[in-house]
Structure 1
Amino acid sequence: MKRQSKLTVFLILFFLTINFTKAQSTINEITNEFFKVYEKNPQKAVDYIFSTNNWMSKEKNYDVENVKSQLSNFTGLVGDYHGYEKITEKSLGESLKLVSYIIKYDRQPIRFTFLFYKPKDVWKIQNFKFDDNLDAEIEESAKINNL
């Protein structure tokens, strides 16, 4: 009986591991999972996105903790979260991609920018940042010189 239950537990863990790895195979899947977690807990979402890069998660990374702290302070000022929209995706070759999203809050939107790198066969976060400079950028793009 014990052997059967150990085998069952092993099989469940094995299939969960396979599904978790498969769920992170594309940038869209990684960002979708990020936002799914973000909706419930922004701090855990930051931990999740940085966990895709084992170089950043080998030890307690103070840069990651700083991002989490700044994000927490910032989002506390903008009201309730109402979802996200992709605004751009740029590539350099086939191994480096930048993806930006508008994050919708009551007071104002903010932008999340993810830089992903695929050195071999798995996408990893290379950089993550956020800002609220969207209004200045859209005003600048509307100027006649930019047409």
Structure 2
Amino acid sequence: MRIVLGIVFVLLTGITSANTLNNEESTRVLSDKMIQHFYKKEFQKGIDLAKPYWPLAPVELDNLVNTIKGQWPVVDQRFGEATGTDFIKTEKIGSSFIRYYYLHKFNNHAIYWQITFYKPKNEWKVNNLMYLDTLDPLYERVN
């Protein structure tokens, strides 16, 4: 019995250590996957992907999902059917913060998702998620 428990423990610790974001590329992959789920209104699945990397209590993240689901009928009514997503840009603060912006397009308007990661030591953690319909921060000056 001890051998079986030892093997299960090793397997579980291997799974846990696999749930790390060791580099910027892994943060981008995670945020891309989250946006794919958000586009399909699979908010729980998108947040569930981030849970292992987000230092908030799972109940708080589930509350975030419920808030998004509660607000989404207004998005559907006001903006219409979703038509696609675009990755917009990356912003950084030194080597500790990285933020990705995604446009979520609808028939009548668009919103943007902003996903922020923080690296306090050696691993990245999800730090913030938000969506807004005010697109002003995304505009670039054209001369």
Please tell me the TM-score bracket, short chain as reference. 0.5 to 0.7
Larger Rg: 1
Deviations 1:35-92 (A, max 9, x none): 23322512432343355212x1254458625642455234322222233111111111
Aligned counterpart, 1:116: 117
1:87 to 1:19, Cα distance in 2 relative to 1, 3 A: same
Q: Is the 8 A contact 1:99 1:113 kept in 2?
A: yes
Report what 1:35 is aligned to: 35
1:18 shift after superposition: 7.3
Q: Distance in 2 between matches of 1:132 and 1:76?
A: 12
Q: 1:27 & 1:116 partners in 2: Cα distance?
A: 7
CA drift of 1:100 comes to 0.8
CA distance in 1: counterparts of 2:114 and 2:99, whole angstroms: 7
Structure 1 unaligned regions, length at least 5:
1-5
SS in structure 2 of the partner of residue 98 of structure 1: strand
- Match of 2:123, as an amino acid? V
Q: TM-score, normalised to structure 2's length? A: 0.68
Of residues 40-49 and 78-87 in structure 1, the stretch that sits farther from structure 2 once superposed is 40-49
Name which of 19, 22, 32 aligns with 1:21: 19
Deviation, structure 1 residue 116: 0.9
Alignment RMSD (CA, Å): 3.8
The amino acid of 2:19's aligned partner reads T
Amino acid at match of 1:119: P
Q: Which runs of 4+ in 1 moved over 6 A?
A: none
| Counterpart AA for 2:57 | S
List runs of 5+ in structure 2 lacking aligned partners: none
Residue 76 and residue 19 in structure 1: after superposition, are their counterparts in 2 closer, same or farther (change >3 A)?
A: farther
2:44–2:62 Cα contact (<8 Å) kept: no
Between 42-51 and 118-127, report the one with greater CA deviation: 42-51
